[in-house]
Amino acid sequence: MHVLLTEDQELFRRTVREFAEREIAPVAAEHDENETFPSENVKKMGKLGLMGLLVPTEYGGAGAGSVEYALAMEEVSRADAAHGVIMSVQNSLVAKPIYKYGTDEQKRDYLHRLASGDMIGSFCLSEPQSGSDARRMQTTAVRDGDYYVLNGTKNWISNGGEAGLYIVFARLESEGEEARTAAFLVEYWRWGISFGAKEKKLGIRASATTQVFLKDCRVPLGHLLGGEGDGFKIAMSSLDAGRIGIAAQALGIAQAAFDAAVAYAKEREAFGQPIAEFQGIQWMLADMHVRIEQARLLTYQAALLESRGLPFAKESAMAKLSASETAMWVTTRAIQIHGGYGYSREYPVQRYFRDAKITEIYEGTSEIQRLVIARSILRGERPTAAPAEPAEVPETKTPVLELPPTPAELQRMMAPRKLHHVAVAVDSVDEALKFYRETLGLEEVTVMTMEDRGLKVVLVRAGPSEIELLEPLDPEGTVARFLDRRGPGLHHVCFEVEDVEKSMRYYEGRGATFLDPVPRPGAVGLVSFMPPSLAEGVLVELAQTSGYSVPEAPSEAAEPEEAPALVITQPILRGPGGYARPGLGSAPDVPAWGAQPSAAPPTEEEAPSATPSSSAWPILDTAIPHGPGGYTRPGLVTSAPTEGWPTATPTGPRPE
CB 352 within 8 A of CB 303: no
Output the 3-class SS for 412-465.
HHHCCCEEEEEEEECCCHHHHHHHHHHHCCCCCEEEEEEHHHCEEEEEEEECCE
Closest CA to 515 of 481, 543, 540: 540
d(CA 152, CA 142): 12
Listed in sequence order, the residues at least 6 apart from 23 whose beta carbon sits closer than 8 Å to its beta carbon are: 41, 44
> What b/e string do you get for 221-233 counting C-beta neighbours within 10 Å, with b at 16 or more?
eebbbbebebbbe
CB 402 within 8 A of CB 350: no
Beta bridge partners of 544: 526
- Per-residue buried b or exposed e for 404-439, using 16+ beta carbons within 10 Å of the residue's own CB: eeeeeeeeeebeeeeebbbbbbbeebeebbeebeee
Strands (E), 463-555: 465-472, 489-496, 520-521, 526-530, 539-544
- Told to judge if 162 belongs to the known catalytic residues of this protein, a careful annotator would answer no
CB burial of residue 46 (10 Å; 0-12, 13-18, 19+): buried
Distance between CA atoms of residues 450 and 473, nearest Å: 9
Q: What is the DSSP letter of 21?
A: I
Strands 455-462 and 465-472: antiparallel
- Classify residue 284 by its DSSP letter: H
Helix segments in 539-608, DSSP class H: none
Contacts of 561 (CB under 8 A, 6+ apart): none
- Name, in order, each residue with C-beta under 8 angstroms of 490's C-beta and a sequence gap of 6 or more: 422, 423, 424, 425, 538
655 exposure class (CB count in 10 Å sphere: 0-12, 13-18, 19+): exposed
- Burial of residue 317, with CB atoms counted within 10 A of its CB: 0-12 exposed, 13-18 middle, 19 or more buried: buried
- Of the candidates 315, 363, 466, 643, the residue annotated as catalytic is 363
User: In Å, how far from its chain's centre is CA 13?
Assistant: 20
Cβ neighbours for 278, distance < 8 A, ≥ 6 positions apart? 270
The Cα 42–Cα 91 span in angstroms is 13
Residues designated as active site: 363
